[in-house]
Structure 1
C-alpha cells in the first residue's frame, strides 16, 4: 500500500469535546460567569485553541481585551486534559491495518501540538504516526493547505489522502488537492452531502478498504 494518510485528531480519531468542555468551564468559573453547554463546546471545536477561546468568550460577553489572558488560562489546563476523552471505536485496529499494509501515517490537527502529542501518548497511538503537525506547529492552520501538505511530506511519499470530520478538513483537503475521506460521526455542522469528499464512513472498520481504493 503505497499511501500516505494524514488524519485530523479531535472529532476524527478521538472525541475530546468532554475534556475541552471541562477546561472551558473551569476557566469561565474563575471569571464568575455561566458555563457553556456541551453543544456549544462541540460547535467551537475545529479552528484551534485561540478560536475556541474567542468563541467561548463571545458567548459569555467577555470583552476582546481579555483574549490573551483567557487563552493562557485555557492552555495551562489543556495539556493534561485527557480524562474524559475517548478514542472512537475501531481506530486502533484501522491504524494497525493501514500500517501493516505499508501506509505511512501523519496527524494534521488544529489542536496545539503539545496537547495533541499528550492525547496520542495517553492512548498509545503516537507510535502509528510518522509526523504530527499541530495548530501551533506552523504560522498557518487548516483550512489553509500548508499544514496538511507539511504533514504529508514529513510522513513520506506515495498517494496522499486526508481523513477528517469537518468543514475545515474538507476545505483543507480541497485546497491541497488531496482526496478526502469524511468520518461522519465527528463535529461537522453541515450535512454530509454539503462537504466535498471522495467517500464517507461511519465505522473505522471501513477505512482500510477506502484507503486501498484510492
Structure 2
C-alpha cells in the first residue's frame, strides 16, 4: 500500500514539474514574440524600411536554416530506419514503403510507422505459416499412424486366418490319414467319397467292383 501511495505521489510531482516547465517555455515564447512585434512597430513608426527589410531577411534566413536542419535530421532519421529494417524486410520492401509514404506526404514519422507495421505483418504472416505447417504435420502424422495401425491389424488378421486355414487342412489330412479302413464297408465308403483310389482297395473288393462292372 505504501509503495502504491508513493508511486501516485511521484507521478503527481512529475506531472506538476512538466506543467511548470511548459508554462515557462510558453511564457518565454510570448515574451519573444511581443518583443519582435514592438521592434517591428518601432521600425514602421520611424519609416525605417531598411531595418524592416533586414529584419525580414533575418527571419527568412533563420527559417531556412531551421528547415535545412530539419531536412538533415529527417534524412539522417530515414537512413537509420532503412538500416534498421532492411535486413529483415529487404531493401526493395523498405524502398517501396518509402515511396508510398512520400506520395502520402506523412513524413518521417509516417515512414517509421509504416515500416514498423510492415515488420509486424511479416512476422504475423510467418507465425501463421509456421502454425499451419505444424498443424498439417500433426494431421499427416496422425493419418500415417492410423494407416500403419490398420495395415498391422490387416497383416495380423491375414496371418491368423492363414494359420487357421493351414491348421484346418492339416487337421483334416491327419484325420483322414489316421482313419485307415479296417472293414470292407469302410473301404467302400472311402472309395465312394474319393478318399482312396481304386488301386488302394484290397484285391477282393477290387474283384467285386470289376464283377459288378463286368
State the TM-score, normalized to the length of structure 1.
0.21
Answer 1 or 2: which has greater strand percent: 1
* Structure number with larger C-alpha Rg: 2
Answer 1 or 2: which has greater helix percent: 2
State the TM-score, normalized to the length of structure 2.
0.21
Higher relative contact order (CA 8 A, sep 6+): 1
